[in-house]
Amino acid sequence: MKGILAARILRRALLTGIVYMVVMSLMRIAFAWHFKPQEVSLFDLGPSYIMGIRFDLRIAGAVTLFVWILGSLPFLNPYRSTVAKKFWLWVLTVTGIVFAFFYVADFAHYAYLKQRLHASALNYLQDAAISGEMVWQSYPVVRILLVMFLFTLLLIYLINKTHQWADGATVALSKPKKIITSVCVFLLLAFGIYGKAGQFPLRWSDAFGLGDAFSNNLALNPFQSFFSTLKMRNSTSVDIEQTKKHFSVISKYLGLGNNQLLHYERMLPAVDSLAQQPTNVVLVLCESFSGYKSSMWGNPLNTTPFFQTLCNQGVFFNYCFTPEYGTAKGV
């Protein structure tokens, strides 16, 4: 009997990992189909798919190992206890919700910033009210929640179906076969989670060697991208020592004078010539308009010629500075 239960638990764990692997692969294809540049063919992205499979194997391997190890514990074995069955139902439901949330957030994040989901998105929680209002005004929130709900139901349905098939296992594993099978499966899962043969495991940064930005982003997995960048979440915080080191350069550029207080306040006298006649002032505020990418800061590609013309024919205020990274606080 123990041999049959061991076989069922192992099969249940493997099938769970396979379901997640298939779904993640389909999500990558959907990502490519929706976001790829027009000049790029889906078949040109083979290296990105291969790298993406390696990232997905890490997540699927971790899920498989999680289900296998916990399910092997007597008090969490779904074949021994009705409480354990309810526990696994809740675990799979919560896991499905988290999985759906990550992918929906990832798609929305890329649509907004052309970057896969990373941990810096947590910084928007500092202005939760503003960020929430922006999300409500920018995205079809109700439809997104409906998609998450349906996605979670589909994932749970697929997992439950595969578990029903696993429950029908009748071939018992003898003790020697159980040990050999367990060792082989564990080594395969460990290799899949490690990601590659080498001194270092597969890293988030390994995706950024595929030649172009879209191929790099396509290869990434939102879980890998998010958790690998957690340590860089606060990379935009103020470093006083670095500020002191470079403040003289910033002060000279902004015309702050020789102050030692590390502040950016400055007082400029009014220009009388502007007061002699009424002046039309047009404030242009562009979302994600990077100054260094524009023509006004010497970009040789002349990326914003019309805006450059406005600046040449008007008064261009180019000494504006904000220490904030997020758009809402920066504005």
For 273-317, how does the pLDDT look when each residue is reduced to its tens digit (9 = 90+)? 656 667 777 777 777 777 878 898 888 899 999 989 988 888 787
In the structure, what pLDDT confidence band is assigned to residue 74 with cuts at 50, 70 and 90?
confident
| Buried/exposed 78-105: b ≥16 CB within 10 Å, e otherwise | beeeeebeeebeeebeebbbebbebbbb
Question: Is the pTM value of this prediction over 0.85?
Answer: no
Q: What is the pLDDT of residue 237?
A: 62
Please give the structure tokens belonging to residue 181: 């099978």
Task: Note the helical H segments in the chain.
Answer: 2-35, 46-72, 82-113, 128-138, 141-166, 175-194, 213-219, 222-228, 240-254, 272-275, 305-313, 327-330
- Please write the tens of the pLDDT for every residue from 11-63: 889 999 999 999 999 999 999 999 988 887 777 888 999 999 999 999 999 99
Please give the structure tokens belonging to residue 317: 């205020």
Q: What is the pLDDT of residue 280?
A: 74
